[in-house]
Structure 1
Amino acid sequence: MKITNVSSLTRKITRFLSIDSVESDEQSFDTSVEDVEFNFLDIGEIIVNAHSDVNDQCQHSHELDLDDHEDKDQTNANEKDRSFWDTQHQGLQTNAYRTSSLETKIRNATKEAIKEIESSAERVCVCSKEMNGTSCRICLLREVSRRLQKAGFNSAICKTKWRSSLDIPSGEHTFLDVRDNTNTKKGEVRVMIELNFKAEFEMAKGSDEYNKLIKKLPEVFVGKEERLSNLIKILCIAAKKCMKDKKMHMGPWRKQKYMEAKWLGPCERNTSTTSHPIGYAERIITKPKFKASLLTVDLLEKLPTLHCTAVKVL
C-alpha cells in the first residue's frame, strides 16, 4: 500500500513537470518525461530498499529483544538457584551445629568413645565381619552404647524396619539413641546418634552445589529428633533439586519418606551391650523335638483313662 501511494505521488510530480515542459519546449518535454520516468524508478527502488532496511532493523531489534529477554531469564534462574542453595546452607548450619547443653555432652561423650575404640588395640568386633579395620557396624554400635551407658547415659541400639509401599521400598536401619529424663518440665528428650551420617546422603553423581552442601555435614550426627527431621528435609529437597537439574531419576531410597523411615519410624530399642564370641550361636545345643507318626502312637500309653472291655464272642 505504501509503495502504491508513492507511485501516485510520483505520477502527480511527473504531470506537474510535464505541464511546465510543454510551456517551454515539446522536445524538452519528452526528455523531461524520460528523466522523470527514470527518476520515478529510482524513487520506487529507494522506497522499496528503505522498507527493506526498516524491516531488517525491526527484525534485528526483535532479535535483540529476544536475546535480552533470554539473558534476563537466565539471570533470574541463576539468582533463584543461588538463593535456593544459600537457604539450604543456612538451614544445615542452624540444625547441624547449634545444639543444647545436653546434645553437646552426648556428642563429646560419643566422640571420646569412638576415639578410644579406634586407638585401642583390643578388637571390639566379635563376629567375622570388619569395617574400617576396626569393627563391623553392629559391634561398633554396641561398644559405643556400652561406653555411653558407662558414662551415665541411657543409651540403646535402635532398629527400624518398614514395609514397602507405592513410594518407597522396604528396608531396615540401626543407629543409637539416648533418652534423658533429667528435665521434668520438658519431659523425656530423645537424642539421635548416627555414626555414619554424611555417607547416608552422599551421591556419586551429585552436582557441585550439592556436594558442597554434603561436605558441611558432620561425620557423626548427635542431635534431637527435631533437628534430624529438619536436616532430612533440607538434604532431600537439595537432592531432588540436584537430580532435576541434571535431568536424572531420583532413586526412591533418597526420598524424604525413606530417610524419615530410617531414623524417625517405629523402632526396637535394645539396651543390652552383651557381645557373644565367634561361633557362639553354633555351640548352642538345642534339644531335638519328639516326632512320631500317628500310625505308631500307643493309645493306651497316651490316653491312660481310656479302658477297653473284652467282648466274648459266641
Structure 2
Amino acid sequence: MEKIPVTRQNSEEIDRFLEGAASFADMMFGFLDGSNDSEENLRDFVDRDENPNDDEDAIQVEQNKIFWEAQEQLLQVKATLYRTTSLESRIRQATKEALRELDVVGVQCACRRPVAGGCRNCFQRELSIRLQNIGFNCYIRKSKWRRSSEIPSGEHTYLEVLDKSNGKKGEVRVVIELNFRAQFEMARANEDYNKLIARLPELLVGKAERLKALIKILCGAAKKCMKEKKMHLAPWRKHKYMQAKWLGTYERTTPALLPVGYSDRPQKPKASMLTFDLQENLPGFHYTAVEVV
C-alpha cells in the first residue's frame, strides 16, 4: 500500500478531526453519566441539527409584520380613509342625515314580493330620492360583468352622485356604498386581516379614484392573508372581481318618487256582496237575481 506523506497541513486537519471526535465522545459519555453540562451541549447539538429553518421562520414572521403595518399606513395616508374633499364631505353628511330619516319613518317595499322593513333595492331608491330632493344628481347604478377564466359572472347595485360643477375638469363621480366593510369580510381570515378590515367604514362615500386605491390595497391584503394560511383565494375575492363591482360596465337609472300607497304587486280579487250566496246561508230568504252590468 502506498504511504501518504504526512505534511504539516494534513497533520493539522487530523488534529482537528481528533479533537472534534474527542469532544463528541466526551459529550456522549457525560450525558450517559448524568452530567448537566453535557446534557445541555447535546441538546444544543440536536436542536441545531433538527431545526435548521428556525432563522427562516423568524425572518418570515418579521416580513409578515412589516407587510400588515404597511397596509394600515396605506389606508390612513395614501388612500384614503382620512383624506376627503369638500364635495365628499357634503355628500357623506347628507347621506347620513337621509339614513337617519329612513331609520325613523321606515321604507315601504314596493316589490312584487315585499320584504318586511324594505329590501335593498327599495332602500336605495328612497335614499336616492332624498339626495335628489336636496340638489344632488344621485343615481342607482347597476354593474354587470361576464364570466371569465379568472372570475365568475355577477352584478351589483349601489348609488353614485355625479357632480358637474368643476367646469373644464369634467364631472366628478362619487360612489355611495352602504355595506362597504361587509364586501371584504372573510370568515377564515387571520387576525391581521380582520384588524385591517375593522378600520373600514360601513358607509363609504368616496370618489372613484379613492375607491380604486382602496380596492387594490384590500385585495392585496386578502391575497396575503390566504397565502399565510395556505388556503386558496376565492375568485370573488380577487382584484378583478372587486373592480368589476364598482368600476366596470354599468346601467344607470334615476328613480322617481312613487305615489303613497303605490304597489306593483298583483291585487287579490275581493269578494262582492252582489255575488254572495245568501240563499245558502239564509235558507228562508227569497230574492230575485239581478244581473250586474
What TM-score range do you get, normalising by the shorter chain?
Answer: 0.7 to 0.9
Instruction: Answer yes or no: is the 8 Å Cα contact 2:226–2:232 preserved in 1.
Output: yes
**Alignment partner of 1:252 is 2:217:** no
Q: Which residue of 2 aligns with 1:146?
A: 129
State the shift of 1:109 in Å: 0.7
The alpha-carbon distance between structure 1 residues 48 and 233, as it changes in their structure 2 partners (threshold 3 A), is closer
2:170 pairs with 169, 181, 187, which one?
Answer: 187
Q: How does 1:1-314 map to 2 (within 5 A)?
A: 51-55=20-24, 70-94=53-77, 95-120=80-105, 122-127=106-111, 128-130=113-115, 134-275=117-258, 280=264, 282=266
State the shift of 1:77 in Å: 1.2
Instruction: Answer yes or no: is the 8 Å Cα contact 1:124–1:134 preserved in 2.
Output: yes
Instruction: Answer yes or no: is the 8 Å Cα contact 2:107–2:122 preserved in 1.
Output: no
Q: Which residue of 2 aligns with 1:288?
A: none
Structure 2 distance, partners of 1:273, 1:219, is 26
Letter in 1 for 2:109: C
| SS at structure 1 position matched to 2:81 | helix
Structure 2 distance, partners of 1:51, 1:247, is 42
Structure 1 distance, partners of 2:22, 2:164, is 84
The alpha-carbon distance between structure 1 residues 182 and 48, as it changes in their structure 2 partners (threshold 3 A), is closer
Structure 2 distance, partners of 1:216, 1:118, is 24
RMSD (CA atoms):
3.0
Structure 1 distance, partners of 2:255, 2:189, is 39
| SS at structure 1 position matched to 2:202 | coil
State the shift of 1:124 in Å: 3.1
The alpha-carbon distance between structure 1 residues 54 and 119, as it changes in their structure 2 partners (threshold 3 A), is same
CA deviation digits over 1:281-302, x for unaligned, max 9?
647xxxxxxxxxxxxxxxxxxx
Structure 2 distance, partners of 1:232, 1:101, is 22
Structure 1 segments unaligned to the other structure (5+ residues)? 6-46, 284-314
Instruction: Answer yes or no: is the 8 Å Cα contact 1:124–1:143 preserved in 2.
Output: no
Instruction: Answer yes or no: is the 8 Å Cα contact 1:143–1:273 preserved in 2.
Output: no
Larger Rg: 1
Letter in 1 for 2:155: E
State the shift of 1:82 in Å: 1.0
Q: Which residue of 2 aligns with 1:304?
A: none
Structure 2 distance, partners of 1:203, 1:275, is 38
TM-score by length of 2: 0.72
Q: Which residue of 1 aligns with 2:32?
A: none
Structure 2 distance, partners of 1:55, 1:115, is 78
Instruction: Answer yes or no: is the 8 Å Cα contact 2:140–2:158 preserved in 1.
Output: yes
The alpha-carbon distance between structure 1 residues 51 and 172, as it changes in their structure 2 partners (threshold 3 A), is closer
State the shift of 1:205 in Å: 1.0
TM-score by length of 1: 0.68
Instruction: Answer yes or no: is the 8 Å Cα contact 1:145–1:273 preserved in 2.
Output: no
Structure 2 distance, partners of 1:74, 1:149, is 56
